[in-house]
Amino acid sequence: MSDLEDYRKELDAIDQELVSLFEKRLAVSKKIGNYKKNQSLPIYDKERERQVLLQNIRQITDKDSEVQVRHFLETVMDLSKEVQKDVRASTVDYDQLFASHPPKNDPKIGYFGETGSFCEEAMLAYFDEAPANPSNYHTFESLFLAIRNKEIDYGVLPIENSSTGAISQVYDLLAKYGFSIVGEQYIKIEQHLIGLEGTNLDEVEEVYSHPQGFQQSTEYFKNHEKWRQIPFHSTSDSAKLVKDSQDVRKSAIASRRAAEIHGLSILADNIQNESENTTRFIILGKDLESNPRCNKVSVVFSLDNEAGTLFKLLRHFAEYHINLIKIESRPVQGEKWEYLLYLDFEGNIAEENVNGALRLLQKNSVYFRLLGCYIAATKNK
Ligand SMILES: C=C(O[C@@H]1C=C(C(=O)O)C=C[C@H]1O)C(=O)O
């Protein structure tokens, strides 16, 4: 027998032991996976992995093999986490994930802000027929509560602006209440300084608006540093406040429509920083409403706090040729340095590639929720 054959026989015997031990290890990993699933614990445990590496590297007799042993242990632990992810995914109810509800007939609709708000404009632009007797709400959360309490079927509220970015409170409420995005609408936003008729700019002392109104008009206020900027519920609520006060020292940042509705004058027009200032509004409903014409998907998920997981997940989108539109991250409430990731991408959940990517995303994330599958709005509104 040649030396090579002898060596290989030796390896075969070792492999036999290794495989049998590895199988035993995977079986224990599965049990740990079940335990973690029941206790809602994350799969990855950084401290434990550090310990496993330390205690095993300590017992190496040939120090030259440390690099290989480390690599071996890391691979073993990666595979152990894979098995735990399968355990976690095995009970996922995919039918429920993709179960869609028909749109509501004669729906009750609510929007954020006083009459004259940009949300009201978005509502009028989105629905083919102007909704009869819509309700309005003065905080984002009261609109979510109205959906939960079945006061309304759909709510209209802003989610992002082209110059200031995400409206983070709305993202956080989406995570908190678990409703669905059933549609979207873009509205061009022109902000004006408005006040009582005949008001002179040098009489103004206070300006009221939603924080977004101030953020979108910072350039204009550089020349009016003495004015007190007072955040209020919405731009249209601010217009109403000025009207109700009958005080020339008070002004508001709001739309031309709000000025007209509340009988106010425009003191300075188009004070927004960017002429093409646009806001994306979402139509929120209780349930997922998807049909074959829907071409945009939104999801929210969180990951194990482990290097490379986001890359590994997003890679599936490239593999499935899915076009990502937007990614937004928000801190998890009450969990320091943990994040929820919100992803928008092109496609329909009934398409095979989207379906495949969603399953992988759900399988490999600690938390996952399909936020909606709806018709993408045109941006030049
Ligand atoms: C098996 C566990 O889950 C993961 C896998 C580990 C392993 O295979 O040794 C160690 C830590 C965790 O990242 C565990 O928590 O013990």
pLDDT digits (tens, 9 = 90+) for 203-253: 999 999 999 999 999 999 999 999 999 999 999 999 999 999 999 999 999
Tell me, yes or no, whether 249 and 199 share the same domain.
yes
Query: In ligand 1, which atom is closest to the CA atom of 77?
Result: 8
Opening angle at CA 141, ends 95 and 380, nearest 5: 75
DSSP 290-302: --TT--EEEEEEE
Task: Judge if 134 and 74 occupy the same domain.
Answer: no
Residue in 116, 109, 52 with CA at minimum distance from that of residue 80:
52
Overall pTM surpassing 0.90 (yes/no): no
The DSSP string of 213-243 is HHHTTHHHHTT-TTSEEEE-S-HHHHHHHHH
Whether 140 and 258 share a structural domain: no
Question: Measured at the alpha carbon of residue 299, what is the angle toward residues 296 and 301, in degrees to the nearest 5?
Answer: 160
Residues 114 and 173 in one domain: yes
Q: Are 346 and 295 spatial neighbours (Cβ–Cβ below 8 Å)?
A: yes
pLDDT band at 91 (very low <50, low <70, confident <90, very high): low
Q: At residue 191, does pLDDT exceed 90?
A: yes
Q: What CATH number corresponds to the domain at position 240?
A: 3.40.190.10
Residues touching ligand 1 (Cβ under 6 Å) are: 29, 32, 44-45, 48-49, 52, 77, 80-81
**Same domain (yes/no): 26, 152:** no
- Our mutation pick for probing the ligand 1 site, out of 38, 80, 82, counting the most ligand atoms within 8 A of Cβ, is 80
Q: Which amino acid is at 104?
A: K
Give dist(CA 278, CA 276) in Å, integer: 6
> Do 33 and 83 meet the contact criterion of CB atoms below 8 Å apart?
yes
Which residues participate in catalysis according to the annotation?
Answer: 279, 281
Among 280, 277, 259, 278, residue whose Cα is nearest residue 268: 259
Residues 206 and 173 in one domain: no
218 and 246 assigned to the same domain: yes
Tell me, yes or no, whether 96 lies in a domain: no
* Residues 281, 168 share a domain: yes
Asked whether residue 10 falls in the same domain as residue 86, the answer is yes
* Owning domain of residue 86: 3-91
pLDDT tens per residue, range 33-69 = 988 877 767 888 889 999 999 999 999 999 999 999 9
Instruction: Verify that 231 and 364 share a domain, yes or no.
Output: no
Q: Which of 232, 256, 289 is the last residue of a domain?
A: 289
C-alpha 27/C-alpha 84 separation (Å) is 10
Does 255 reside within a domain? Answer: yes
Lowest mean per-residue pLDDT among 73-77, 102-106, 193-197, 307-311: 307-311
Does residue 219 share a domain with residue 182? Answer: no
Residue 97 lies inside a defined structural domain of this protein: no
Number of domains into which the chain is organized: 4
Is residue 43 helix, strand or coil? coil
